[in-house]
């Protein structure tokens, strides 16, 4: 039990809001805590069995904080219909006035059966997932595909245009998860196959104005060979991919991972060091908040240090659940992104907790709250 929860148990509490699920209540608790208000959700057990015993989850605060908490919740409600759907035209206009310029919403779609259970939000096929993302108001999707040749890019482009959203990026992770390809392989033939997989992904994403992402293909934590040689192989692949992506006027995106997934690069500072060593200027960093929570002393300070090299954000909480279901403090993180004039995507690469649709809704609620100007 946290100190906030212990303090609240011993004090007179006031209910400031009620929500039908623990997920919906938890984001209000997170928002209030980031505003300096101690809050707790109560009644989750009852809500968890709503079919048999209908109930609501209450969000409670100290009595002295109740009025301010209600004001914050009322303001948040103005920008969300409670289900995370796209607001009507009047609210869109209000939101446009208050949203920080540049940052855009994005959500992951996985088409890789071998990765089921992994940290991707939508799994219900490409067409249904695109339509649902558009319904909720997302600006773009990030697709995790089995292989670049498995995608009908023309058909995807038409579907995205029809839905009114964009493709932000294509992941290359299936190169490792499904095909066991890594860019630091000691075997030259295997390295060539891995680079070909990356180039194919760049060629699939590029015509739609999207980037390819290199994450797990950089080499796992247990790769063979010495670290310097492995780093050299990675840099060669980034040089190659950066030049390939430049043909489409998009950057290649490279993701530092945590120490349990790679020995190549685990921090933003190390990622910047790699990028500055390259001859190409067309590679940018994917800063994944889950990995950063493990490796960085301060997530916000690391983002500021990343500066111009920050090209994509995985918008997720400390436990890889949707934003608001962990312990990250998002106020300083968003402030850091504003300081570096970040104008890219905040993309949900999160576990589909408690289910894909609710995870998508919660992420959109969090995105709308945290990207308001002045928040």
Residue 55 pLDDT greater than 80, yes or no: no
Q: Sort strands 57-62 and 39-42 into parallel, antiparallel or unpaired.
A: antiparallel
Q: What is the pLDDT of residue 105?
A: 98
Domain range enclosing 37: 3-77
Residue 46 pLDDT greater than 70, yes or no: no
Number of H helices, E strands in the chain: 15, 11
Q: How confident is the model at residue 78 (pLDDT cuts 50, 70, 90)?
A: low
* pLDDT, tens digit, 9 for 90 and up, residues 260-287: 999 899 999 999 999 999 999 999 999 9
Q: Structurally, how many domains does the chain consist of? A: 2
Q: What is the pLDDT of residue 245?
A: 97
- Does 277 fall in a domain? yes
Whether residue 163 sits in one domain with residue 49: no
How many other β-carbons are positioned within 10 Å of the β-carbon of residue 235? Answer: 18
Whether residue 21 sits in one domain with residue 148: no
Q: What is the pLDDT of residue 38?
A: 86
**Coil, strand or helix: which one is 116?**
coil
Q: What is the pLDDT of residue 220?
A: 74
Whose CA is closest to 39, among 19, 20, 57, 65?
65
The residue that leads in pLDDT, 89 or 7, is 7
- Does 275 fall in a domain? yes
The residue that leads in pLDDT, 318 or 35, is 318
The residue that leads in pLDDT, 53 or 105, is 105
- Does 85 fall in a domain? no
Q: What is the pLDDT of residue 89?
A: 35
pTM of the model: 0.77
Q: How far apart are CA 291 and CA 9, in angstroms?
A: 33
- Does 82 fall in a domain? no
Whether residue 152 sits in one domain with residue 40: no
Q: What one-character-per-residue DSSP string does 212-256 give?
A: EEESGGG--TT-SS-HHHHHHHHHHHHHHHHHHHHTTT--EEE--
* pLDDT, tens digit, 9 for 90 and up, residues 232-247: 999 999 999 999 999 9
DSSP 182: -
Whether residue 145 sits in one domain with residue 44: no
Whose CA is closest to 238, among 207, 259, 217?
217
Q: What is the pLDDT of residue 14?
A: 87
DSSP 99: B
Q: What share of the chain has pLDDT > 90, as a percent?
A: 66
Here the CATH number for the domain that contains residue 136 is 3.20.20.150
Q: What is the pLDDT of residue 79?
A: 54
Q: How confident is the model at residue 90 (pLDDT cuts 50, 70, 90)?
A: very low
Whether residue 38 sits in one domain with residue 116: no
Dihedral angle of Cα 181, 186, 189, 191, to the nearest 10 degrees: 50
Whether residue 160 sits in one domain with residue 121: yes
**What is the average pLDDT value for the chain, to the nearest integer?**
86
């Amino acid at each position: 039990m946290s100190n906030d929860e212990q303090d609240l148990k011993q004090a007179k509490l006031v209910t400031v809001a009620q929500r039908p699920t623990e997920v919906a209540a938890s984001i209000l608790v997170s928002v209030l805590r980031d505003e300096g208000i101690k809050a707790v959700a109560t009644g989750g057990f009852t809500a968890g069995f709503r079919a048999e015993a209908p109930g609501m989850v209450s969000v409670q605060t100290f009595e002295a904080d109740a009025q301010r908490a209600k004001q914050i919740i009322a303001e948040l409600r103005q920008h969300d219909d409670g289900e995370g759907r796209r607001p009507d035209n009047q609210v869109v206009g209000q939101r446009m006035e208050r949203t920080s310029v540049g940052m855009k919403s994005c959500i992951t779609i996985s088409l890789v059966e071998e990765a089921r259970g992994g940290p991707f939000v939508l799994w219900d096929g490409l067409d249904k997932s695109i339509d649902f993302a558009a319904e909720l108001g997302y600006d773009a999707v990030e697709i995790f595909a089995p292989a670049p040749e498995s995608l009908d890019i023309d058909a995807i482009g038409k579907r995205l245009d029809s839905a009114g959203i964009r493709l932000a990026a294509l992941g290359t992770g299936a190169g490792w998860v499904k095909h066991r390809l890594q860019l630091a392989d000691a075997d030259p033939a295997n390295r060539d196959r891995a680079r070909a997989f990356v180039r194919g992904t760049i060629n699939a994403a590029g015509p739609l104005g999207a980037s390819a992402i290199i994450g797990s293909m950089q080499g796992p934590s247990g790769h063979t060979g010495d670290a310097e040689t492995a780093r050299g192989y990675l840099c060669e692949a980034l040089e190659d991919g950066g030049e390939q992506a430049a043909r489409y006027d998009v950057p290649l995106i490279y993701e530092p991972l945590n120490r349990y997934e790679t020995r190549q690069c685990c921090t933003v500072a190390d990622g910047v060091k790699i990028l500055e060593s390259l001859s190409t200027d067309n590679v940018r960093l994917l800063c994944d908040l889950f990995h950063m929570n493990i490796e960085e002393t301060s997530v916000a300070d690391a983002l500021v240090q990343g500066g111009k090299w920050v090209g994509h954000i995985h918008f997720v909480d400390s436990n890889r659940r949707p934003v608001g279901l962990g312990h990250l403090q998002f106020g300083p993180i968003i402030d850091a992104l504003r300081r570096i004039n970040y104008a890219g995507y905040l993309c949900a690469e999160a576990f589909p907790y408690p289910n894909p649709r609710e995870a998508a809704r919660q992420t959109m609620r969090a995105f709308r709250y945290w990207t308001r100007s002045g928040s």
